[in-house]
Amino acid sequence: MPSIYIVPAWLEENHDLEFLRLRISEVFRKKTVIYESKKIDFHSIYNPSRKQYNSSQFLIQLLNNHPKDALRILGVTDVDLFIPILTFVFGEAQLNGIAGVVSVHRLNNKFYGLPENEELLRKRLIKEAIHELGHTYGLVHCLTPGCVMNSSTYVEDIDEKSEFFCSYCSSVIRG
């Protein structure tokens, strides 16, 4: 059965992603599996001048090493991601593709010098994971207030949106 695969790719800390697996399974109504892959080469995607990791190259590694029955594949990491035209990204995905990535690095309060808040971190990760997977279904950034497909430039933008699709975006996901 084709599945959505969540691929943990930790460099520093391991995080339990069962909550994310359950929520993605509910939202997309697809079997969702946590898939341990040791094939992410962080060294090759690291940019020492930026002290960040190239998210597009992370995507390519996921695409080159995904299970054959992957409906979608989502890499989840704790490293700071970038694309060359932006200072940083919370995540990146292929529009109408199968792969996306998301990082907890800038979703975590400790990045901003604030007290850690595990519940808030989980909510942010769920929103960004659903957002990136939404792109793989062909959704672009949505202007409907609160839709999970709203663009997020800052972490506060993530906190302001919901983890749900608006009616239009939901109809695209449902086909």
Q: What residues act catalytically?
A: 132
Q: Got the DSSP string for 36-86?
A: ------HHHHEETTTTEEEHHHHHHHHHHT--TTEEEEEEEESSPEE-TTS
In terms of Cα–Cα distance, which of 101, 135, 93, 98 is closest to 10?
A: 101
| Structural tokens at position 100 | 């996306």
Determine the Cα angle at 10 with ends 60 and 56, to 5°: 20
Bridging pattern class, strands 52-54 and 46-47: antiparallel
